[in-house]
Structure 1
Amino acid sequence: MTLTFDGTVIVPVADPEDGERTAAGLKPHLEPNSTVIAVNVIEKAGGGIDKAPMEQREEHADDMFRRVRATLDDAPSALETETIYGTDVVERIFEAAREERADAVVFTAREGNRLAELLTGDVARRLVKEGSVPVVALPQDES
């Protein structure tokens, strides 16, 4: 059985390489009536000092989206991009999925060690555990 997406999927991207890798993994599973919405969550400090200037973070998101667009350029699906803001990355991803009436959230897990996962809150683990819509973790390309 081949997995295909024929509706709307939310694709969270964390950095340009992640966006490109996830788009490449997703591409063979897209149909002509698929809509991919690539989202980057700019995490706000919630009253504290933000990690980087907002303009710099928005430019970084634009770079991510350029890489996703380039990878999916000849895909049969529609592509939208959206920068979203919030204090909790996982909550904002699922909020966007509900707002867009997405069929699934699709991502490719990044390699990392347990210490890095503990320090970053392990977004991938939370996506799977806290999903309010189906969550699909694509396999990492081993080439």
Structure 2
Amino acid sequence: MTLTFDGTVIVPAADPDDGERTARALQGHLEPSSTVIAVNVIEKSGGGIDKAPMEQRKDHAGDIFERIRGVLDESPAAVETEVLYGTDVVERIFEAAREEQADAVVFNAREGNRLAEFLTGNVARRLVKEASVPVVALPQTEP
């Protein structure tokens, strides 16, 4: 049985490599009726000092989307991109999924150690544990 997405999927990406890796893993699962909405969440500090200047973070999101489009331009799916803003990355991803009436949130889990997971809040683990829409973790693919 082959998994295919024939509706709308939200594809969060944290950096250009993550976006490209996820797009490659997703590419074979798309149909002409698929819509991929690639998102990058710019985490706001909620009143504190932000991690980087806003313009720099928007440019970073643009680099992510360029890499995703570079892979998915050959796919049969429609590809959209959106920069999201929020104080909680996972909550904002699921909010976007509800807004877009997405069928699923699809991601490619990055390798990491427990310390990295602890320091970053382990977004992948939270995506699965706090899911308000179906969540699909795609298997790792070779570059």
TM-score bucket (shorter structure): over 0.9
Q: Which residue of 1 aligns with 2:124?
A: 124
Q: Which residue of 1 aligns with 2:53?
A: 53
1:92 corresponds to which letter in structure 2?
Answer: R
Q: Which residue of 2 aligns with 1:74?
A: 74
SS at match of 1:66: helix
Residue deviations 1:86-125 (CA, integer Å, cap 9, x gap): 0000000000000000000000000000000001000000
Pairs aligned (count)? 143
Cα distance in 2 for residues equivalent to 1:141 and 1:116: 22
- TM-score normalized by structure 1? 0.99
1:109 corresponds to which letter in structure 2?
Answer: A
Q: CA RMSD in A?
A: 0.6
Cα distance in 2 for residues equivalent to 1:74 and 1:138: 19
Cα distance in 2 for residues equivalent to 1:125 and 1:61: 22
1:63 corresponds to which letter in structure 2?
Answer: D
Cα distance in 2 for residues equivalent to 1:121 and 1:49: 19
SS at match of 2:28: helix
The alpha carbon displacement at 1:141 in A equals 1.2
Cα distance in 2 for residues equivalent to 1:119 and 1:75: 35
Q: Percent identity?
A: 80
- TM-score normalized by structure 2? 0.99
Q: Which residue of 2 aligns with 1:109?
A: 109
